[in-house]
Amino acid sequence: MSQIYARVALIGLGLIAGSMGLAMRRAGLAGEIVGTARSAETRAVALERGLVDRVTETAAEAVAGADLVVLAVPVGVMGELAAEIADHLAPGATVTDVGSVKQAVVAAVGPHVPEGVHFVPGHPLAGTEHSGPHSGFAELFRNRFTLLIAEDDTDPSAVDRLTRLWQGMGANVEVMDAPHHDLVLAVTSHTPHLIAYTMVGVADDMRRVTDQEVIKYSAAGFRDFTRIAASDPTMWRDVFLTNKEATLEILGRFTEELFALQRAIRTGDGSHLFDYFTRTRAIRRGIIEAGQDTDAPDFGRGGAKT
Amino acid sequence: MSQIYARVALIGLGLIAGSMGLAMRRAGLAGEIVGTARSAETRAVALERGLVDRVTETAAEAVAGADLVVLAVPVGVMGELAAEIADHLAPGATVTDVGSVKQAVVAAVGPHVPEGVHFVPGHPLAGTEHSGPHSGFAELFRNRFTLLIAEDDTDPSAVDRLTRLWQGMGANVEVMDAPHHDLVLAVTSHTPHLIAYTMVGVADDMRRVTDQEVIKYSAAGFRDFTRIAASDPTMWRDVFLTNKEATLEILGRFTEELFALQRAIRTGDGSHLFDYFTRTRAIRRGIIEAGQDTDAPDFGRGGAKT
């Protein structure tokens, strides 16, 4: 594959940025990849693992001369970071990010992006429950979706170039606006994460059921919740603080449905339960047909081909 | 491994019974395995796949002369089935089951078990989202827990013999009483399933987010919920109708916690969210250390070694 950007700057070197570095290097998508992170240890690991070609101590140094700048830090500090690099961005460069919410990033970063620099927010729908510079791998984005945000005044050629970069890393790309992104993600990601965190917290609190029992018997369904609920706490705190409206809306719908099922249990309304459980099977089939999961029975021994 | 029962009767030939048949045959744990199911097609598939040595049309025929009878039908029909086979059970035989709730099974089946026949309810904590005679495989129970229920008057030698059978199929066995079983499973399985069903139902209902979007973007967290929510509707209806008290108790605790997190989101209480999300990570580590899951990043491409 041919080079798409001459120099890419990765700000933050966690799971997503590290995987991007490995994927870009493998496919030859960038002339040079420069990385930075606040922790000297993280920078050292990134160099050692070959996530980037070189590291810098500051974000300002990293972005100098880069034609693509990737903000890969928690959503809560994106605005601050944007202010810090604003004066150092090269004319014609593109700034993107990988945050899980988009309206808040647009609001925090947008005002700092100088005239003549493109801003194309992004969100790769890929991840694992691991975080940090040791966790990335080149295959992370393969056959996953990356959502890019374009407004009416976004330069189509900047969107197109970034699209080709993500495709080169194996992703399918879709373009949408920020409010729709945040609603879709509230349904497919943010609310499910909050619910999983809640359920795991409840289990941890039950004094009549020991932690040991919860752990031993997790294969009965709970295990998938613990995987979701093991994700990076900082990232998820910021997601809920910054996608508040959509998350609260979906939570309201969730609670309403849950109460209806709870009442069906209490009153012994088996046909309500059966009909509800039958309907949800169809969605699962759709996901398998769309290639977003396999039909193989998963009982926790699989493990990805990394 | 040596034979433990001379003749095993499997009543119902779905995922669990089918896997038991394959696991017992592979390890030589039973002299003969007889199976039955209401559907002629299911019986034919069971024979063709070698889940059993022979099939019978009725449960009464299947249990004749068997020293182990396994009730592997939905919890809601266990009582009826027990009444049907009661007069045909061999003296000294053991009756067990594989239902997901235990107090209701004890109440429904217990009264029909004749004097001189042992009743040792059981519950293998293993499964996939698939069901039916095509879904079983011999490895299903490997390194999973099977819980057996013993009351004060249960014959220890009958429990010991059934324990060795399950161990021969690869399972770890624990013995407990029925009320504790039902509480533990309400936490580790029943409530998580109800929540997953609810979340998938909510997603299906959102008119502003299309089904296609839900399916395409499921890798962001929702996918694990759909796997759980694709399980057999009949089985799960019966679980909730028969483990009502414990499920409603855990649901109450869940709702309480969820409302506290919801308030933290609404008021922007980031430290509450961060602390909560940090605590749940420890449970995940415990599960990995206990061998009930792998640390490999799971992004839906794994698939078990079947």
Considering only CB atoms, B261 lies closest to which of A147, A187, A194, namely A194
Mean pLDDT, chain A, integer: 91
When the pLDDT of each residue in chain B is averaged and rounded to a whole number, the result is 91
pLDDT (average), residues A201-212: 81
- How far is the alpha carbon of A61 from chain B, nearest alpha carbon, in Å? 31
Backbone torsions φ then ψ of A90, nearest 5 degrees: -75, 140
Question: B15 and B114 share a domain?
Answer: yes
Do both A148 and A191 map to the same domain?
no
Assigned domain for A35 exists: yes
* B246 inside 8 A of chain A by CB: no
A46-55, B243-252, B276-285: segment of lowest average pLDDT: B276-285
Residues B126 and B233 in one domain: no
Question: Does any domain span residue B302?
Answer: no
CB contact under 8 A, A241 and B265: yes
- The answer, for A291 touching chain B at a CB cutoff of 8 Å, is no
Calculate ∠ Cα B177-B293-B256, nearest 5°: 60
Q: What angle do CA B236, B237, B242 make, to 5 degrees?
A: 95
User: Do A26 and A113 sit in the same domain of this protein?
Assistant: yes
Give whole-number Cα distances, B156 to B1, B69, B118, B149, in Å. 22, 17, 10, 11
> CB B183 to CB A209 under 8 A?
yes
Q: Does B177 touch chain A (CB under 8 A)?
A: no
CA A42 to each of CA A11, A55, A132, A241, B203: distance values in angstroms, whole numbers, following the listed order: 12, 10, 8, 26, 38
The answer, yes or no, to whether residue A259 has pLDDT greater than 70, is yes
- If one counts the domains in chain B, the total is 2
Burial of B294 (0-12, 13-18, 19+ CB in 10 A): middle
Q: CB distance from A240 to chain B under 8 Å?
A: yes
pLDDT at residue A1, as a whole number: 60
Residue A206's H or E segment, with its range, is none
Are residues B132 and B95 part of one domain? yes
Query: What CATH number should be reported for the domain holding residue B65?
Result: 3.40.50.720
Mean pLDDT of A89-109: 97
B172 and B145 Cβ atoms separated by less than 8 Å: yes
Closest CB to B219 among A126, A284, A285: A126
Looking at residue B258, its amino acid is L
Band of residue A205 on the pLDDT scale cut at 50, 70, 90: confident
**Is the pLDDT assigned to residue A20 strictly greater than 50?**
yes
Residue B239 CB coordination number (10 Å): 29
Does residue A299 register a pLDDT over 80?
A: no
Whether A177 has its CB under 8 Å from any CB of chain B: the answer is no
pLDDT in tens, A100-128: 999 999 999 999 999 999 999 999 998 88
Instruction: Please give the single-letter amino acid code of residue B84.
Output: E
What values do phi and psi take at B173, rounded to 5?
Answer: -115, 135
SS3 A254: helix
What is the arithmetic mean of pLDDT over B8-28?
Answer: 97
Q: Does A144 contact chain B (CB < 8 Å)?
A: yes
- Whether A40 maps to a domain, the answer reads yes
Judging contacts by C-beta atoms under 8 Å, the chain A residues touching residue B130 are 297
- Chain A positions touching B223 (Cβ under 8 A) are 287, 292-293
Q: Are residue B188 and residue B115 in the same domain, yes or no?
A: no
Picking from B188, B289, B295 by the largest number of A CB atoms within 10 A of its own CB, the best residue to mutate is B188
- Please give the pLDDT value at position B222: 85
Q: Are residues A25 and A160 in the same domain?
A: yes
B22 & B163 share domain = yes
Instruction: Give chain A positions within 8 Å (CB) of B174.
Output: 216
* Pick from A221, A248, A302: CB nearest B303: A302
The answer on pLDDT for A10 being more than 50 is yes
- Claim to verify: residue B227 and residue B257 sit in the same structural domain: yes
Q: Whole-angstrom Cα distance, residue A272 to residue A263?
A: 10
pLDDT, tens digit, 9 for 90 and up, residues A213-232? 888 888 777 888 888 888 88
- CA-CA distance, B10 to B136, in Å (whole number)? 13
**Higher local confidence (pLDDT), A296 or A55:** A55
Does residue A299 fall inside a structural domain? no
Identify whether B127 is part of a domain: yes
Chain B, nearest residue to A193 by Cα: B221
- B187 interfacial to chain A (CB closer than 8 Å): yes
Residues of chain B in contact with residue A279, where contact means CB-CB under 8 angstroms, are 201, 204
- Domain boundary at B134, B153, B176, which? B176
Instruction: Measure the CA–CA gap between B194 and B171, rounded to whole angstroms.
Output: 26
What is the pLDDT at residue B296? Answer: 62
The CA–CA distances, whole Å, from A62 to A55, A134, B92, B120 equal 7, 21, 78, 67
Are A90 and A65 in contact, with CB atoms under 8 Å apart?
yes
Model confidence at B290: pLDDT above 80: no
Do B148 and B227 belong together in one domain? no
Instruction: List all residues of chain A from 113 to 132 with a beta carbon under 8 Å from chain B.
Output: 125-130
Mean pLDDT of A185-208: 90
For A265, which of B145, B219, B247 is closest by C-beta distance?
B247
When pLDDT is averaged across residues A184-188 and rounded to a whole number, the result is: 94
Q: Are residues B142 and B33 in the same domain?
A: yes
Above pLDDT 70, what percent of chain A?
Answer: 95
pTM, entire model: 0.85
Taking a C-beta distance cutoff of 8 angstroms, is the pair A249, B281 a contact? no
Within an 8 Å CB–CB cutoff, is residue B245 touching chain A? Answer: no
Verify whether the Cβ–Cβ distance B280 to A250 is below 8 Å.
no
pLDDT for res B72: 97
Is residue B297 over pLDDT 60?
no
Question: Given a cut of 50, is residue B301 above it in pLDDT?
Answer: no
Do B303 and A280 lie within an 8 Å CB cutoff? no
Q: What is the ipTM of this complex?
A: 0.85
The CA distance from A57 to B295, in Å, is 32
Q: What's the CATH number where B221 sits? A: 1.10.3660.10
Check CB contact under 8 Å for B241 and A208. Answer: no
Show which of residues 5-64 on chain B sit within 8 Å of chain A, judged by CB atoms: none
Q: For residue B2, which amino acid is it?
A: S
Domain hosting residue A75, numbered range = 5-176
Rounded CA-CA distance A34/A101 in Å is 25
For A209, the 3-state DSSP assignment is coil
The domain boundary, picked from B158, B176, B194, lies at B176
SS3 call for B100:
coil
Residues B191 and B172 in one domain: no
| Structure confidence at residue A83 as a pLDDT band (50, 70, 90) | very high
Measure in Å the smallest separation between the Cα of B234 and chain A Cα atoms: 6
Give the relative orientation of helices A191-205 and B270-289 as an angle to the nearest 10 degrees: 70
Range with the poorest average pLDDT among A192-201, B66-75, B220-229: B220-229
B128, B195, B211, B269: best to mutate for the A interface, most A CBs within 10 A: B195
Q: Give the model's pLDDT for residue B221.
A: 79
Cα of A115 to nearest chain B Cα, Å: 33
Q: Are A290 and B215 within 8 A, CB to CB?
A: yes
pLDDT level of residue A298 (50, 70, 90 thresholds): very low
Whether A304 has a pLDDT exceeding 60, the answer reads no
| pLDDT value, residue B50 | 97
pLDDT at A19 over 70: yes
**B65 within some domain:** yes
* pLDDT digit string, tens, across residues B168-191: 999 999 999 999 999 999 999 999
Strand partners, B146: B124, B173
Q: Which residue of A has its CA nearest to B255?
A: A255
Contact flag A302-B296 (C-beta cutoff 8 Å): yes
B265 touches A at CB < 8 Å: yes
| d(CA A283, nearest CA chain B) in Å | 7
Contact A230 B280 (CB under 8 A): yes
pLDDT tens track for A124-174: 998 887 889 999 999 999 999 999 999 999 999 999 999 999 999 999 999
Higher-scoring residue by pLDDT: A292, B250: B250
Q: Largest Cα–Cα distance of chain A, in whole Å?
A: 67
What is the mean pLDDT of the segment spanning A39-50? 97
CA–CA distance, A117 with A137 (Å, rounded to integer): 30
Q: Which residues of A touch B273 (CB under 8 A)?
A: 233, 236-237, 240-241
DSSP conformation letters of A123-146: EE----S--STTS--TTTTTT-EE
Domain final position from B145, B176, B207:
B176
Confidence (pLDDT) at A40: 97
